C-alpha cells in the first residue's frame, strides 16, 4: 500500500464508510475502488479529484500522497501541481493554459 491508499483506508474507517459507499459517492464501481486500494490500478488525478471532493480535502494534498506530484519545499505547491498537470497535457491544451494565464496576469481578480 502507498501513502494514498493507507490514508484512504484510514479515512473510510474514521467515517465508517465501506468501499461501496465511497464508490456510490464518487460515481465509480466498488471494484474500481478495490482495485485502487489493492494497488491493482494506479491512483489517477481524476480519482484524487473525486475523492478530494467527497472528503473536502485539497486535491493537491492527495496528489502528493498518491505520488502523482513530487513537491519541492522551496517552490509553491500550487505552482508545482500546475506544472505536473501541464506535463500530462497535449500541446494545444498547454497553449490554452498559457494564454489564459497571461490574460489572468494582466487582469487579476481580487
Q: pLDDT tens for residues 46-90?
A: 999 999 999 999 888 898 889 887 767 777 878 877 887 887 889
Residue 5, SS3 per DSSP: helix
In this structure, the answer to whether residues 35 and 60 fall within a common structural domain is yes
Asked if 8 contacts 51 with a C-beta cutoff of 8 angstroms, the reply is yes
- DSSP secondary structure, 45-59, as one string: HHHHHHHHHHHT--H
In a shared domain, residues 53 and 104: no
Average pLDDT, the chain: 89
In a shared domain, residues 59 and 99: no
pLDDT tens, residue by residue, 12-27: 999 999 999 999 999 9
Q: What is the DSSP string of 69-86?
A: S---TTS-HHHHHHHHHH
Whether 40 and 94 map to the same domain: the answer is no
For residue 101, give Cα distances in angstroms to 5, 45, 59, 82, 91: 33, 21, 20, 11, 15
For 22, the domain range is 1-68
Residues 104 and 81 in one domain: yes
Amino acid at each position: 500500500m502507498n501513502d494514498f491508499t493507507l490514508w484512504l483506508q484510514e479515512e473510510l474507517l474514521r467515517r465508517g464508510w465501506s468501499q461501496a459507499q465511497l464508490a456510490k459517492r464518487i460515481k465509480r464501481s466498488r471494484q474500481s475502488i478495490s482495485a485502487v486500494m489493492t494497488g491493482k490500478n494506479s491512483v489517477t488525478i481524476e480519482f484524487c479529484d473525486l475523492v478530494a471532493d467527497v472528503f473536502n480535502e485539497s486535491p493537491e494534498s492527495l496528489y502528493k500522497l498518491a505520488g502523482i506530484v513530487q513537491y519541492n519545499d522551496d517552490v509553491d505547491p500550487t505552482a508545482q501541481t500546475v506544472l505536473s498537470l501541464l506535463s500530462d497535457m497535449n500541446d494545444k491544451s498547454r497553449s490554452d493554459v498559457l494564454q489564459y494565464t497571461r490574460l489572468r496576469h494582466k487582469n487579476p481578480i481580487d
